[in-house]
Amino acid sequence: MKRIVVAGAMALSFIMPVQAQQKTNPEEIKQKMQWFADAKLGIFIHWGIYAVKGIDESWSFHNKKISHADYMAQMKGFTASKYDPQAWAALVKESGARYAVITTKHHDGVALWDTKFNKLSTARGTPAKRDVLTPFFDALRKENIKAGAYFSLLDWTYPDYPGFLKDSTRYKISEQPKRWAKFQQFYQGQMAEVMTRFNPDLWWFDGDWEHSADEWQATKVRKMLTDHNPNTIINGRLTGYGDYDTPEQNFPVQRPQFHWWELCMTINNNWGYQPQDTNWKTPYEVITIFADAISNGGNMLLDIGPKEDGTIPEPQVHVLKELGKWNKKHDKAIFGTVGGIPQGHFYGPTTLSKDSTTLYLFLPGNVSGKVMVKGLDNKIEDITVVGNGAKLSHKIVGKISWSPVPGLVYITVPANVQDEYMTVLELKLDKPVKLYRGKGGLNG
């Protein structure tokens, strides 16, 4: 894995692994990426046998917090007894998300569909006794929500996969190439099952870091998936042979370079269900992070972790519903917009209508009234509080009539029009947004 090296900020290199540069040409995939660019919000679901004991998904045995046998014994406790896929899809819809991504198989090798390759599936090895994915994919599609498949390339349980525990491996590929070929057939076979059964709108690969693009046969895999469905979208964790970048958990400080990107983030501190983890992000935190992502031209994929019986813990439902309320109210400032103006013009996130004649300002926190925009070389025709309808006036400060440098725009936002999480202002401009980026002074 490549690491960022920033002069004078060495500590960063430990906390910010960087994905391999995307190898796809943006021009060639532009059309199929449009729904993704407009979608803004997705819900990620980590569901698996790890919810039985409520321990780290796969990593708990890999990191030797628990033996592999004890980890696998969780299969006996996975019931899906209260699983309601329609209710899941309805909750995704209510959050405002346009897509969902669910774990089809994590690094532990347990499939949530009925794979014919082994007995390690919810269908054959657990009391749930069924493929739990099919009804969810169906329910999503009924709700008109795009359906994505998380798929771990690496499989620490498969006997012919080299990696196992953090300090032990089964073999080296260079020494046993045939054994590796057997694994390649296995994982590509399972992938083909997922492909033909669910025809995912999006593939969310993971676990690529243990092997090279050549070892994974990344170009072959990409071709298999896009031959089957030319419109399927592939995340960047196929050793760079994907369509978009996936920074994780912590928002990147600068805009990611690749055209499309998605921030995936847990709703507490863990991906799967863990009862002791009550460090829930508040609706305010989730909303401000989301606004930051779309302001920088990206999406947010917010993760939830259902229990083994298929119920979604109440605090997770609460965050999704509050987010949904806010999304509904501010729909036009979010969906169908593009990333906003560069940082420095406004202390907060912004988005733009696609023709860039409307600028949306997301007011961070409880602004006590005064908002300022600088370097905006446009006439403001009209200012409205989104989802509220109140019209606001503005004042231009520091404009010298004969200088090309625009003045500062001050907008007063009364307390009674403010949203409980983030207030959004709609600025109708006289023409596409034009920014002054100079140094000031007489010559502009």
Binding residues for ligand JFZ (CB under 6 A): 17, 57, 59, 206, 248, 264, 271
Asked if 281 and 269 count as a contact pair (C-beta separation under 8 A), the reply is no
Q: Record the tokens describing residue 344, joined without a space.
A: 């420095």
Sign of the Cα torsion 36, 37, 43, 44 reads: positive
Nearer to ligand JFZ, 131 or 206 (CB): 206
Smallest gap from Cβ 59 to ligand JFZ, in A, equals: 6
For the stretch 127-138, what's the b/e string if a residue is b when 16 or more beta carbons lie within 10 angstroms of its beta carbon?
ebebbbbbbbbe
Q: How far apart are CA 439 and CA 374, in angstroms?
A: 12
Name the residue number minimizing CB distance to ligand JFZ: 17
Nearer to ligand JFZ, 99 or 271 (CB): 271
Nearer to ligand JFZ, 2 or 431 (CB): 2
Question: By C-alpha distance, which of 389, 395, 429 is closest to 412?
Answer: 395
**Tokens 């021009």 label which residue?**
27
Nearer to ligand JFZ, 56 or 131 (CB): 56
Nearer to ligand JFZ, 84 or 215 (CB): 215
Smallest gap from Cβ 358 to ligand JFZ, in A, equals: 35
Nearer to ligand JFZ, 74 or 350 (CB): 74
CA dihedral 394, 400, 403, 404 (to 10 degrees): 0
First-to-last C-alpha distance (Å) of the chain? 45
Q: How far apart are CA 242 and CA 264, in angstroms?
A: 16
Smallest gap from Cβ 436 to ligand JFZ, in A, equals: 38
Smallest gap from Cβ 44 to ligand JFZ, in A, equals: 7
Nearer to ligand JFZ, 271 or 421 (CB): 271
Smallest gap from Cβ 152 to ligand JFZ, in A, equals: 8
Smallest gap from Cβ 330 to ligand JFZ, in A, equals: 27
Nearer to ligand JFZ, 9 or 15 (CB): 15
Nearer to ligand JFZ, 17 or 342 (CB): 17
Nearer to ligand JFZ, 258 or 271 (CB): 271
Smallest gap from Cβ 247 to ligand JFZ, in A, equals: 8
Smallest gap from Cβ 38 to ligand JFZ, in A, equals: 23
Q: How far apart are CA 16 and CA 206, in angstroms?
A: 17
Smallest gap from Cβ 271 to ligand JFZ, in A, equals: 5
Smallest gap from Cβ 89 to ligand JFZ, in A, equals: 21
